Amino acid sequence: MKKVITYGTYDLFHDGHYNLLKNAKNLGDYLIVAVTSDAFDKARGKLNVHDSLVQRIKNVENTGLADEIIVEEYFGQKIDDIKKHDIDIFTVGSDWIGHFDYLNEYCKVIYLDRTMGISSTELRNKKAVNLGIIGAYDIVLRFKNELKFVGGINLVGIYDEDADKLNAMAYKVEINPYKDINSLYADVDSIYIATPPKYHYKDIKNALLNDKHVLCEFPFCLDTNEAKELFEIAEARKLILMEALKTAYCPAFCKIVPIVKSGLIGNILSVDACFTQVHDSKITEQIELASGGSINALASYPLLAIFKFLGVSYLDVNFVSKFNSDGIDIFTKFNILFKDAIGTGTVAIDAKNEGTLTVTGTKGYLYVPAPWWKTDYFEVRFEDINKNNKYFYRFEADGLRYEINSFIDCVRNKIANVVLTKEEILAEVSIIEKFSSKYNVKNI
Ligand code: CTP
């Protein structure tokens, strides 16, 4: 019996997939189809898959062409599968010519003609979300660069009140400039807000009242009541409202949360997170960008870790800051007290320390090396070092693709964001607001 194996994602099942499977089946007597798992697709950088694994398997099953369906879960699995299933022929479409020649050592490799004019990517793009940007700031450049890794987004244009800034940015990133914000609203269904925090409330509200889904840069806004109002508007109008805090959506951090919550390192007694920068001559620009000092610019990151691991029901907070002559905090250390734990954050825009995250538990601790907010690797450590474990994930480029992908997923499927919750965002804003109202702030 001649056994054939083929691999694919089979997202939004189409004629190209069907033809490939039919031709693969005709190569032998028994066809095994390996469908990629969601985690494997993410790990190989394919972030925009639309259908679930179960749906994709069902679609392959419905063709009646597969004698067996397996799941592809890791790099290097093809060699294991070929040996395990005693495969005679490995086949994929001609878009992969040359790529799998190394498998000739284990079985015959055949590249089948690809069906022209159709692909999952094209089908996904037909369902594209029309996105506009508000705010001509540098982050837009990075945002635009990351869009291509997500797919399914049609970047319509950018708006900024300042016409010179708008034109300069539009030229730099090759996006259509809109002189009138209402024209932009008319052409899009979603908005990415890249303005400084002091404008977020106004910009988010305006976008929501124009029935646009919103992804807003951090910190979400500077006042808790305003933040609550924004969520109320979004909920009433069934709109997605998300904060663009990249770490919350990146693969490694998403895995740290369940590990910490699982009790593996015991009861959590403290979370310590540090994020510091030195801006030197660019510090005035940075203060303008953040509408303030180190708390506004960076506290969102330690607050993310603290509220994710300890919950949002904190009892109290205190701050120790170094202010510059303009009253801007260039360094702040804060302690957030919980019933059974403490969270400490260190942030600075004109001082430097090691940017690590550690979580102290009664059985062990979690260590994330610097820069923890961009992590692709972390360790769980114990008194008995034989029990220590290292975990590796991917973190590509700036990591913005993960938050963009989550946003697009929520918009397309009309599901509320569960990665960074409303409660966590409100807790974050409440700390920032307390700091600006000088609640429990000591100078050094
Ligand atoms: N395939 C094909 N003809 C097409 C599209 C896909 O023969 N028009 C083949 C691929 O070469 C592969 C299999 O179908 O062997 C599964 O491909 P998959 O990557 O799941 O589909 P694509 O449509 O190529 O997906 P994407 O656009 O996301 O790359």
DSSP label at 28?
A: S
- In the block, residue with structure tokens 């969601």: 38
Closest to 62 measured CA to CA, from 89, 82, 35: 35
Taking only the tens of pLDDT, the chain with its 444 residues reads: 999 999 999 999 999 999 999 999 999 999 999 999 998 998 887 888 889 999 999 999 999 999 999 999 999 999 999 999 999 999 999 999 999 999 999 999 999 999 999 999 888 877 789 999 999 999 999 999 998 888 788 999 999 999 999 999 999 999 999 999 999 999 999 999 999 999 999 999 999 999 999 999 999 999 999 999 999 999 999 999 999 999 999 989 999 999 999 999 999 999 999 999 999 999 999 999 999 999 999 999 999 999 999 999 999 999 999 999 999 999 999 999 999 999 999 999 999 999 999 999 999 999 999 999 998 899 999 999 999 999 998 888 788 999 999 999 899 888 888 889 999 999 999 999 999 999 999 999
d(CA 441, CA 429) in angstroms, rounded, equals 16
Q: Ligand 1 mean position to 77 CA, how many Å? A: 19
Which residue intervals of 44-199 are DSSP H helices? 53-62, 77-84, 120-126, 139-150, 163-173, 181-187
* DSSP 3-state percent helix, strand, coil across the chain (nearest 5): 40, 25, 35
> 155 C-alpha to center of ligand 1: Å?
25
Question: Burial of 167 by CB count in 10 Å (0-12 exposed, 13-18 middle, 19+ buried)?
Answer: middle
Pick the CATH number of 122-245 from 3.30.70.580, 3.40.50.720, 3.30.70.20, 1.25.40.10: 3.40.50.720
At 427-437, the pLDDT tens digits run 999 999 999 99
Q: What six digits make up the tokens of 442? A: 């000591």
Cβ atoms of 294 and 348 within 8 Å: the answer is yes
Any atom of ligand 1 within 6 Å of the Cβ of 152: no
Protein residue closest via CA to atom 25 of ligand 1? 120
Tokens of 78: 């093809």
| Closest residue to atom 11 of ligand 1, CA basis | 93
Q: For residue 116, which atom of ligand 1 is closest to its CA?
A: 8
Q: Whose CA is nearest to atom 17 of ligand 1?
A: 8
Q: What distance lies between CA 21 and its chain's CA centroid?
A: 34
Measured between alpha carbons, how far is 338 from 336 in angstroms, rounded to an integer?
7
CATH of 3-118, one of 3.30.379.10, 3.90.1150.10, 3.40.50.620, 3.50.50.60: 3.40.50.620
Question: What is the per-residue burial (b if ≥16 Cβ within 10 Å, else e) of 6-45?
Answer: bbbbbbbbbebbbbbbebbbebbebbbbbbbbbebbbbee
Is-same-fold flag (3-118; 248-443)? no
Class of CATH domain 248-443: alpha beta
Q: Ligand 1: distance of its center to the CA of 5 in Å?
A: 15
Q: Rounded to whole angstroms, how far apart are CA atoms 417 and 425?
A: 12
- Residue 16 CB–ligand 1 contact under 6 Å: yes
Rounded to the nearest whole angstrom, what is the distance from the C-alpha of residue 404 to the centroid of ligand 1? Answer: 24
Quick check: helix, strand or coil at residue 283? helix
Q: Enumerate the domain spans of the chain.
A: 3-118, 122-245, 248-443
| Helices and strands in the chain: count of H runs, count of E runs | 16, 20
* Sole residue written with tokens 């062990």: 364
Given ligand 1 and candidates 38, 46, 103, 114, which is best to mutate, with the most ligand atoms within 8 Å of its CB?
114
What gap in Å lies between CA 341 and CA 268, rounded to an integer? 7
Distance 214 CA to ligand 1 centre (A): 32
